[in-house]
Structure 1
Amino acid sequence: MATIVTTVEIAFDGTIFVDISDRTTKVRIKYGRRRILDEFSTGTASITIENRDNFLTPGHSDSTYGNTQLINREVRVSTAVTGGTDSHSTYLWRGFIADVDYTAGQQTSTVVIRTVDGFDKLAKASIFNQSFSEAYTGVRIAEILDLASVNYPNSTNPEDRSIDLGAIKATATSSAVTATALDYCKQLARTENGRFLVNHAGTPSATNKGGILSFFEINNATEAGITISDAVTLPSGSVEAKKLQLEWGSEQLFNSYEFTASDSSIQTGSASSSITKYGERVIKRTLLSDATASDEAGTYFIYLHNEPALRASSVMVDIDSATTADAEQMLHVHVMSALSLSYLPPGSSTTLTGEYVIEGVDLDIQVRDMATNASKIRGIYNTASADAGFWILGDTVLGSFPTILAPSWLVTGGFRLDDPDRGVLPVTL
């Protein structure tokens, strides 16, 4: 069993972080999405603290911090595994206070600090009467984030942006754009069929404090994963699943598309054999790409989703029950991490195996010992099948050759804006 120490910090004055770990009893963190076809939404984290000494009584004049500005103050939640090899803590969350709820009891009080991630800021920022030239989706997103009316995120320490170039070009705007920054960025993500969210955890470093606004292009490679299994005896590098949830159904079944391109032309197509079996199931999207790219996107979309498939929709793991090394690796897991899952159904002699990509993260942290901040951490990870994307040469998860290759426009090779290793333009665009 691993000993995981959890640290909770709040910048009450906007600059200096105050450690409130010794009064924290539990933390619940949620971000990402449940299914690959859902929209990414604002991540949330709730932090419950003991308040017997009037430390944080909201709005109270003689409270230590309750009478200071609380809304929009930054909050960080990090972990370190005792005896582990990481040189830096893993930041499971970085967000901003949205609400502070106070519960009074007989000589007791409890405060719940409710926080949100940077999506909340983008939802409140506006693009007004703005024109854009033709550009790859990631370039367009970076332009939006740099607008004076948005200007988020805007620092480099801690790191708070990780934007891929994108594989699809958004056409030049024919009329000025007026929209919320979040809505328009989400439309660009749909155009790319990529992922746009605030991500946390990942590889620990001096500048990774979580809360990184991330845009993953459609052919972005996943990170190296860990094996999760229902087996009782497991080798190093594998973790026992507390519970696996499998789904077989039609919630992700589509066999016809109507994609509206940037010039308002409607591109259509269908998979006739799937329609014969299941009836027509239409996916409709409005994209910012030209007619050719929009039509290719629709064709490939229904190729990926025109048959029902068994998938492990979520997996539950008690992270602190793993070995020190495996617990450390599990804490790094975030959206776009890879998992190898295996499950032997009762009464069966055939093990179900699959490669999956994390789409959503739900962490339930219960403090075992408030003196040492040692914690019990249960993680629930929503996953998507790794083959619900494009084949990638040399990728550990997505390197199995599919029936058909990705469309011809996927040639950017994982270029990432402002990245020191992946920020050099490829030979072809």
Structure 2
Amino acid sequence: MRRLFYELSESIRIAAAQIRANKLRSALTALGVIIGIVAVTLMGTAIKGIDAGVDRSMAGFGDDILYVSKWPWSGVEDWWNYRNRKPIRHDYAPQINAWIAANPNSPLKLAVPNGERFTSIIRGEYRVNGIYTLGTTSDYARITRSDMKEGRFFTDFEGQAGSNVCVIGFDVADALFPNESPLDKTIRIREQNFRVIGVVARQGSFLGLFSWDSMVAMPLTTFRRYYRVGEGGEIRVQVDNTRMAEAKEELQGLMRRIRGLGPEQRDDFSINEQGTIRQQLDPIKNGIAMAGLFITGLALFVGAIGIMNITYVSVKERTKEIGTRKALGARRRTILLQFLIEAVSICFVGGVAGLSLAAALTSVVSVVAPSFPLVFSTGLVVTGLTVSVLTGIFSGFAPAWAASKLDPVVALRYE
């Protein structure tokens, strides 16, 4: 064991000396590995960034919410069938809550009615367009996970009274009140004055997904008065997320009873969940992964061929040295380790350089495009270094094996 440790340490020392003596050759040899590690690292940061971006955008809405709506969030093939469905009425929420109260062991927890529109909001000379405007009840504060930057959500009394109060997102507040607090200030929505009573903390958005940053919420009674939407809308139902499948099945059965559907009739409503959005992003992640794997594989293959070639050259250049060491008693294992560790060392240095370059590029992208969250994790560092070491073993083993099998007599006579 002591002899093996000595052989490893001596091989590392020799490898370091050879890399220092041939800096340019070693750098050019490692270039393929560097490109491969950059590719695999950036691919990993992009995929993790997509997941993190979706989680950040949807965090304020909660991952324990089911959305009862007229339209499904994906797979709309028979457009006219969905178009002719009856609207989702806001008074379904009290019926669902009555069921929840009568069944305390139900996985359903709370139903909240919602109406939604896109509208323009004005404050003096400032104007923002296309703002997602939500009409809801005070119970919405119980199912959302967004924190308040300042102020509060509207109360049940304000909701029942139809008060002209609203809660605005961070970006809306920043656009309309760039240098002051929006609290107790007035904004105009559909030619009506609304008093701002709360501002939601910044949440961030990703790939156009909704977030609280570009939203405005007002009491549902007020919303229905100014938008004339009738009973159409959406019901958000908070559930026990450890029993999500059971909750979805129970909510489906409950909605069928509320809608008066017979056993032979198809559902005329859709129950959506955040997992649908994540599934729609899978093709994007798979595309990034396939492109990254192709570039990574090609770069690492080219790099491995280059390292193998240089290692063979190194063996030829040092044939007499190999013969001398064998004549003095060096084992085949010692020679094998010497050249194998040299190849692995070049790949390891290339891996470290590739990771450093990838980290720098990630930082640049984060500054240029802050809305795209790249996640540079410890796991990616470990993966990058592991791939580089395995590349070194793969590319260096054949030349090292050939060196270990040299006949010392022939090697000493080599010119």
TM-score of the superposed pair, with normalisation by structure 1: 0.19
More strand as a share of residues = 1
Larger of the two Rg values belongs to structure: 2
More helix as a share of residues = 2
Q: Which has the higher contact order (CA 8 A, sep 6+)?
A: 2
